[in-house]
Amino acid sequence: MTHHDAADGVSTPPDLPDVAGGPDDAPLLQLVTPAGARVTTPETDAYRERVAHLDAAALRGLYRDMVLTRRFDDEATSLQRQGELGLFAQSKGQEAAQIGSGRALAPQDYVFPSYREHGVSHVRGIDPTARLRLFRGVDHGGWDPTEHNVHLYTLVIGSHALHATGYAMGVQRDGLVGSGDPGRDTAVVTYFGDGATSQGDVNEALVFAAVNNAPVVFFCQNNQWAISEPTTKQSRVPLYRRGGGFGIPSVRVDGNDVLACYAVTAEALERARTGGGPTFVEAFTYRMGAHTTSDDPTKYRSRAQEEYWRRRDPIDRLENLLRAEGAWDDAFAADVAAEADALGERLRDEVRALAAPDPSTMFDHVYATPNAVVEREKAWFADYQQSFEEPAAEVAR
């Protein structure tokens, strides 16, 4: 595949050693160094063109997206600690991968996320409180997928890669690929982790996407950990190399470089929309937090590793770039901080106000048509509930 050739041409930055013990022997496409300098090698020319239109204001927009996503994570984590959420899965550390790829999407594109795609959800305009309904245990979904072109979070690892592929096959059948109209042509993107690449479903999705030339982008966020297992427990080769075996152009990108993530996704989406078929993207990043709020990473990974990656925080990198290019100003930073504070406050209020649904709603939407079994049970449950309410009401009187 010419594509990994292009990526292979980019040399590994010296400050990204393999500290995770993961397969890190392949170079990463990078457009901005951790210190905030633009990478200007000839190999990156094509990718640099894809972000050339992003002016200072646009870069500040990406920064804002990342900061708000980070605040969303921090706030949700403390809400979980206060018992307001049953569980939470942070996207902390993965903001560049999510915002970069998410901002490359066109409105008509369709997203199939896993369960920590809060940055992507932010970009697609999903209300932050709605995103926490699942984690609070008041809803299995939280938003209308058709309104945002974002499917619901999927908890069964890898299942949705097949849904994305099938959806893309539908898009293709509908004539929305290669029509030449960029406002109509549509791509589908699915997000999953490094662990997910071991699932049969993900491998089957790659098979279906390849043989159907489906307009789907497989966006693997290799955050180096599947709960406690490092990527070496899933693969002996860098994950992007898997794509080649399926006949799918594949690229490995520095997942902490928001511009590089934007560029590779834009390229992959264009390929999909113009009839070039699927792309596999491995965004090499790091999960800075725990797997979820029930996880204890001290059992399996070192402080040194966490510290190493803390120093490669994707938000800091963009700040460095903004500063290096004279696009940073303190008033802007203060604005973003104030907006983040407001988001935090709003989340605290709104999440606490999310009440449990009426228990009888558990019988709703099990089927689209009336169902005798469900109706009988629902009626029984109503009577049963009533049997408590009557004496209670008498007491109140």
Ligand X SMILES: Cc1ncc(C[n+]2csc(CCOP(=O)(O)OP(=O)(O)O)c2C)c(N)n1
Q: Determine if 337 is a binding residue for another protein (CB under 8 A).
A: no
What is d(CA 372, CA 358) in angstroms, rounded to the nearest whole number?
Answer: 21
Render 320-331 in DSSP notation, one character per residue.
HHHHHTT---HH
Q: Is 287 part of the annotated catalytic residue set?
A: yes
Q: Is 240 part of the annotated catalytic residue set?
A: no
> Which residues are registered as beta bridge partners of 116?
none
Sole binder of another protein in the list 134, 164, 216, 217 (CB under 8 A): 134
| CB distance 141 to 134 below 8 Å | yes
Smallest distance, another protein to C-beta of residue 296, A: 8
Residues 258-297 that bind another protein (CB under 8 A): 294-296
| The one catalytic residue among 271, 291, 312, 317 | 291
- By beta-carbon proximity to another protein, the closer residue of 11 and 232 is 232
Contact segment (CB under 8 A) with another protein among 29-37, 50-58, 98-106, 199-207 equals 199-207
| CB distance 105 to 190 below 8 Å | no
| The one catalytic residue among 300, 311, 352, 376 | 300
| CB distance 262 to 104 below 8 Å | yes
Work out whether strand 188-193 and strand 110-112 pair parallel, antiparallel, or are unpaired.
parallel
* Site residues for ligand X per CB under 6 A: 116, 155-157, 192-196, 223, 225-227, 287, 291
Angstrom CA distances, 197 to 243, 288, 297, 308, stand at 10, 20, 21, 25
Smallest distance, another protein to C-beta of residue 373, A: 5
Tell me the per-residue interface mask from 344 to 373 with another protein, x by CB under 8 A, - otherwise: ------------xx-x-xxx--x----x-x
Q: Determine if 304 is a binding residue for another protein (CB under 8 A).
A: no
Q: Determine if 53 is a binding residue for another protein (CB under 8 A).
A: no
- By beta-carbon proximity to ligand X, the closer residue of 47 and 218 is 218
Work out whether strand 216-222 and strand 225-226 pair parallel, antiparallel, or are unpaired.
unpaired
Smallest distance, ligand X to C-beta of residue 115, A: 7
Q: Determine if 196 is a binding residue for another protein (CB under 8 A).
A: yes
Smallest distance, ligand X to C-beta of residue 343, A: 23
Smallest distance, another protein to C-beta of residue 250, A: 19
Q: Determine if 381 is a binding residue for another protein (CB under 8 A).
A: yes
CB burial string 65-84: b at 16+ within 10 A, e below = bbbbbbbbbbbbbbbbeeeb
Supply 332's token pair: 């802007």
Tell me the per-residue interface mask from 73 to 92 with another protein, x by CB under 8 A, - otherwise: -------------xx-----
DSSP state of 292: S
> Which residues are registered as beta bridge partners of 221?
193, 283
| CB distance 272 to 187 below 8 Å | yes
Please name the residues in contact with 39: beta carbons below 8 A apart, sequence gap of 6 or more. 10, 30, 31, 32, 33
What is d(CA 53, CA 27) in angstroms, rounded to the nearest whole number?
Answer: 26
Q: Is 273 part of the annotated catalytic residue set?
A: no
- By beta-carbon proximity to ligand X, the closer residue of 155 and 379 is 155
Could you give the 3-state DSSP secondary structure of residue 295?
Answer: coil
Catalytic residue positions?
287, 291, 300
Residues in contact with another protein by CB under 8 A are 86-87, 134-140, 155-157, 195-196, 198-201, 226-229, 233-234, 294-296, 299-300, 356-357, 359, 361-363, 366, 371, 373-374, 377, 381, 384, 387-388
